Amino acid sequence: MTNNDPIIQVRDLSFSYSGEPALSNISFDIAEKEFLAIIGPNGGGKSTLVKLMLGLLEPDSGRITIHGRSPRKMAHLFGYVPQDVNINIHFPVSVMDVVLMGRLRHRGRRGIHREDRQKAMESMQMMGVAGFKNRTIKDLSAGQRERVFIARALAADPEILILDEPTASVDTGGKTELYHLLGKLNETKTVIVVSHDLMIISSYVKSVACVNRSLHYHHHNEITETMIEMGYQCPVELIAHGQPHRILKTHGDR
Ligand code: ADP
Ligand code: MG
């Protein structure tokens, strides 16, 4: 397989929850080392699309392949940071414990080996959270906690990193830092970030998929008229290339 082959292919994908369509007839490719932002309004189907790519949900029709194989068979290639990791923060676990969970697939039934701790340390260092390794996760800021969960995903050495709304509860400074780190990770990994916040379209993002039951794929990191015309009903404040770039008004109710 050459580097130009898509790593993820989605063809005519549809999915509904109990007959209620969440995604209709979606097709797109994700190239290797892509940095894709998936944006769209709340309830637009972003998390559903992520779960389908991860093989956590099965399509009603159409198909998804990862390097030509089914998502379930390729689950080991993914590092996943679910939405809302900042909700159950009172769970009394340390940063190290959380990151070690990322090694579960490698460990299987054996206990924790030195190699697992080493890998956990490396990913904590990469995300700048190694200094807090013995703190409980509730004693971190939202931005730090998010980075711990990214470290957990990295501990498994994934080829593709998927983050579902990683910046939802992170302040602006934390967001900038997080995008910078994701930009660095993108040097070696395919990165897919879900957001309903168009601020995600920083200079690091290479392409944008707008999801609102249907999907529009843009091979560049700019907001276009099409994105707006497709009924992208969000108040938008776009920061591209580190600059406030274009500000759109609310487009009325759906
Ligand atoms: P987003 O992540 O873009 O906010 P979701 O993928 O979570 O959107 O949801 C898409 C649609 O599917 C929404 O209408 C949501 O209410 C519905 N939905 C999501 N999860 C479930 C579920 N487990 N059962 C039933 N409906 C769901
Ligand atoms: Mg979601």
Q: What CATH number does the domain containing 204 carry? A: 3.40.50.300
- CB-based pocket (< 6 A), ligand 1: 17, 22, 40, 42-48
- Label residue 249 by pLDDT band (50, 70, 90): very low
Q: Please indicate, yes or no, if residue 254 is contained in any of the structural domains.
A: no
Range of the domain at 202: 8-90+158-246
Instruction: Give the model's pLDDT for residue 83.
Output: 86
Please state, in angstroms and rounded to a whole number, the distance separating the CA atoms of residues 242 and 200.
Answer: 10
- What is the overall mean pLDDT for the chain? 83
Ligand in closest contact with the CA of 43: 1
Testing ligand 1's pocket by substitution, the residue of 47, 81, 164 carrying the most ligand atoms inside 8 A of its CB is 47
Six-digit token pair at 244? Answer: 């406030």
Please tell me which of 77-91, 128-142, 232-246 the model is most confident about, judged by mean pLDDT.
128-142
In this predicted model, what pLDDT tens digit does every residue of 141-173 receive, in sequence order? 888 999 999 999 999 999 999 999 888 778 888
Does residue 254 carry a pLDDT above 50? no
Does residue 49 carry a pLDDT above 90? yes
Q: At how many degrees (to 10) do helices 142-154 and 172-185 cross?
A: 20
Residues 237-243: contacts with CB under 8 Å, at least 24 apart: 237/198, 237/199, 238/198, 238/199, 238/201, 239/198, 239/199, 239/201, 239/202, 240/201, 240/202, 240/203, 241/202, 241/203, 242/202, 242/203
Q: Please indicate, yes or no, if residue 200 is contained in any of the structural domains.
A: yes
Instruction: Give the model's pLDDT for residue 108.
Output: 67
CA dihedral 157, 211, 42, 23 (to 10 degrees): -90
Q: Please indicate, yes or no, if residue 135 is contained in any of the structural domains.
A: no
Instruction: Give the model's pLDDT for residue 80.
Output: 92
The number of the ligand 1 atom at minimal distance from the alpha carbon of 44 is 3
Instruction: Give the model's pLDDT for residue 179.
Output: 87
Does residue 82 carry a pLDDT above 50? yes
Count of structural domains within the chain: 1
Q: Please indicate, yes or no, if residue 19 is contained in any of the structural domains.
A: yes
Average pLDDT over residues 58-70: 96
Taking the alpha carbons of 37, 41, 42, 44 in that order, is the dihedral positive or negative?
A: negative
Instruction: Give the model's pLDDT for residue 201.
Output: 66
Average pLDDT over residues 95-113: 81
Single-letter amino acid code for the residue at 176: T
What's the full length of the chain, in residues?
Answer: 254
Residue nearest to atom 16 of ligand 1 (CA): 43
- Label residue 139 by pLDDT band (50, 70, 90): very high
Q: Please indicate, yes or no, if residue 59 is contained in any of the structural domains.
A: yes
First to last CA, the chain: 44
Average pLDDT over residues 1-8: 72
Who wins on pLDDT, 232 or 32? 32
Q: Please indicate, yes or no, if residue 148 is contained in any of the structural domains.
A: no
The number of the ligand 1 atom at minimal distance from the alpha carbon of 211 is 3
Residues within 5 Å of ion ligand 2, judged at the Cβ atom: 46-47, 83
Who wins on pLDDT, 89 or 25? 25
Q: Are 233 and 40 in contact (CB under 8 A)?
A: no
Which pTM value belongs to this model? Answer: 0.86
Q: Please indicate, yes or no, if residue 41 is contained in any of the structural domains.
A: yes
- C-alpha triplet 69, 38, 81: angle, nearest 5°: 70
Average pLDDT over residues 229-233: 50
Testing ligand 1's pocket by substitution, the residue of 16, 18, 23, 48 carrying the most ligand atoms inside 8 A of its CB is 48
Who wins on pLDDT, 161 or 176? 161
Instruction: Give the model's pLDDT for residue 227.
Output: 59
Six-digit token pair at 73? Answer: 């068979």
Q: Please indicate, yes or no, if residue 102 is contained in any of the structural domains.
A: no
E-assigned strands of the chain? 6-17, 20-31, 35-39, 61-66, 78-81, 160-164, 190-195, 207-212, 214-218, 236-240, 243-248
